Structure 1
Amino acid sequence: MSGRIPSPFYIQNTSDNTLLGDILFPFAYDELLCQKIGEGAPAFVHIWRHEKAVVLGLRDRRLPHVEQAMEWLRLHGYQVGVRNSGGAAVSLDPGIVNLSIVMPNPGGKLEFKEDFELMYSLIRESFRKLGLDADKGEVCGSYCPGEYDVSVNGRKLCGISQRRQTKAFIVNAFVAAEGHAVRRGELIRSFYELATGGNLEKDVPVVEPETMATLAELGGYGVTGKTFVQALVQTLQEWGGTIGRHPDKPSMQELERMAGLLRSRYDSREPAE
């Protein structure tokens, strides 16, 4: 798998400090670098955490009472945003490690499973360094369920989504490293209860919080978010990555413009696919 992220690539790890404020900033960062990577800049991997946010999928934004549900989240101190990749609602906090692989796609290929497999391989190899064996496949009852859910002992720890541009793409993952997995599940279940007006037979995940877990819970003593990030960075270095900020990192003005564009494009009742 080491040759599948074009070397040299950059490993940008900001997870030592949790992000505050606009949850769309890290997504805007990846979007801008995806454009530059499509024009020939080197690939990169982005590792980050956010203090308190809920990120919705495009279908979530179309639910009949979603605006009331989003306001309820904001009143409880959550940043709320709609991401431009696939998947459904996820809860972010300091115990969740977020991960993006941003790579060129010069041929404009549409085969997405190879890219999901790449992220799964990275997560699996990093889990192995912590003594955990990962499986893939949808975990029924989890939030943001999908074919590439990553689980240990049948309980979901990670979800994967993707965003494609013309000449580059982004694969995103959230990894529940520590904290309260069941509480996150309860939060997302409450969001869907509000957003559907109590009609959970709509096309939303049926969330059973006990299907979720964390690395710290399943890995035992000594497994934390920090040790996972260390294992992740070690794996990426073995694959040929270089630690450091991307040389084409966007400016604050670019980030603000892109975050505004993402909000206007996707945070509407009928967002474009």
Structure 2
Amino acid sequence: MTTVLLDEETAGGPAHDVALGPLLLRHGLGRARDILRVYSPEPTAAFSRRDTLRPGHAGAADAVRGLGFTPVVRPQGGSLAAYHQGSVVIDHVHRAERASPDPVERFQRFAELHAALLVRLGVPARIGPVAGEYCPGEYSINAAGVKIVGSAQRVTRDGWLFSTVIQVCGTRRLREVLTAAYRELGYDFEPATVGTLADVVSGVTVPAVTAAVRAAYGLTGPAVQVPAVLRAGIG
């Protein structure tokens, strides 16, 4: 199995970010079976396709724009998630024609991996949802009563894409944008459940979390750039 870490320099904005994972899942990158990208994005409000069917979607998109977040539609996930430069995003593409169609095993496995790396950073991370959280899921990760990690996945005939967001800092801004958007969408939501690692561990930084993620995944090789031919497919 080959793992390829994509350089953060491949970032091209929110629309590029949500398009790149599915593109890599479909076309691959050389002979790599597993392709990982670990990065901190520009302010992004990632709506699900289900969100776009809500009567309040247009109002929610306007609300997040007014708060400096770019609205995009992601191919995986159940409802809106927000992230920014204070977040660490992990996009893991696994290419296999006979990949397991069971999503639960992956949610369990990656939740355990991510919770363990956070515990090593001193975070009292626990697997499970917080009542009233945004983009609720059984395998969310929480600490001290707030959601700090969320994941989503997409399974196709080419394999799977598993995306995770670790919220490191910037709680106030995340809470503000999610509150405005969820109000427009009409979902049940408790703003107090929005949190970051900085709420529970002092001094934690995005570079420290990024390094911990790379160590947990065993990413020691050089980073590679996305080929121009794949870049041209984003648009």
TM-score by length of 2: 0.88
What letter corresponds to residue 101 of structure 1 in structure 2? H
Deviation, structure 1 residue 256: 4.8
Structure 2: distance between partners of 1:163 and 1:234: 24
Asked whether 1:89 is paired with 2:65, we answer no
* Aligned pair partner of 1:217 in 196, 199, 217: 199
Aligned pair count reads 235
Cα distance change on mapping 1:169 and 1:38 into 2, 3 Å: farther
Unaligned runs of 5+ in 1: 1-6, 261-273
Asked whether 1:236 is paired with 2:217, we answer yes
What letter corresponds to residue 195 of structure 2 in structure 1? A
| Residues 182-193 of structure 1 aligned to structure 2 (within 5 Å) | 182-193=172-183
Cα distance change on mapping 1:130 and 1:13 into 2, 3 Å: farther
Structure 2: distance between partners of 1:18 and 1:74: 23
2:41–2:84 CA contact under 8 A, matched in 1: yes
2:64–2:177 CA contact under 8 A, matched in 1: no
* Aligned pair partner of 1:245 in 208, 211, 223: 223
* Aligned counterpart, 2:103: 112
Deviation, structure 1 residue 122: 2.5
Deviations 1:66-124 (A, max 9, x none): 12331333244321100000221112211111111111233143111121123213212
Structure 2: distance between partners of 1:208 and 1:18: 35
Unaligned runs of 5+ in 2: none
* Aligned pair partner of 1:255 in 216, 231, 234: 231
2:63–2:177 CA contact under 8 A, matched in 1: no
Cα distance change on mapping 1:177 and 1:18 into 2, 3 Å: farther
Cα distance change on mapping 1:209 and 1:230 into 2, 3 Å: same
* Aligned counterpart, 1:207: 189
* Aligned counterpart, 1:12: 6
TM-score by length of 1: 0.77
* Aligned counterpart, 1:73: 64
Structure 2: distance between partners of 1:71 and 1:153: 32
* Aligned counterpart, 1:226: 207
2:2–2:32 CA contact under 8 A, matched in 1: no
Deviations 1:228-268 (A, max 9, x none): 1111111122xxx3433347x342x633533x4xxxxxxxx
RMSD (CA atoms): 2.4
Instruction: Please state whether the residue corresponding to 2:152 is helix, strand or coil.
Output: strand
Cα distance change on mapping 1:255 and 1:28 into 2, 3 Å: farther
1:143–1:207 CA contact under 8 A, matched in 2: yes
* Aligned counterpart, 1:25: 16
* Aligned pair partner of 1:63 in 31, 54, 74: 54
Structure 1: distance between partners of 2:29 and 2:79: 26
| Residues 143-182 of structure 1 aligned to structure 2 (within 5 Å) | 143-179=134-170, 181-182=171-172
2:7–2:224 CA contact under 8 A, matched in 1: no
Structure 1: distance between partners of 2:19 and 2:91: 12
Percent identity reads 24
Higher mean displacement: 81-90 or 97-106: 97-106
Cα distance change on mapping 1:18 and 1:255 into 2, 3 Å: closer
Higher mean displacement: 57-66 or 35-44: 35-44
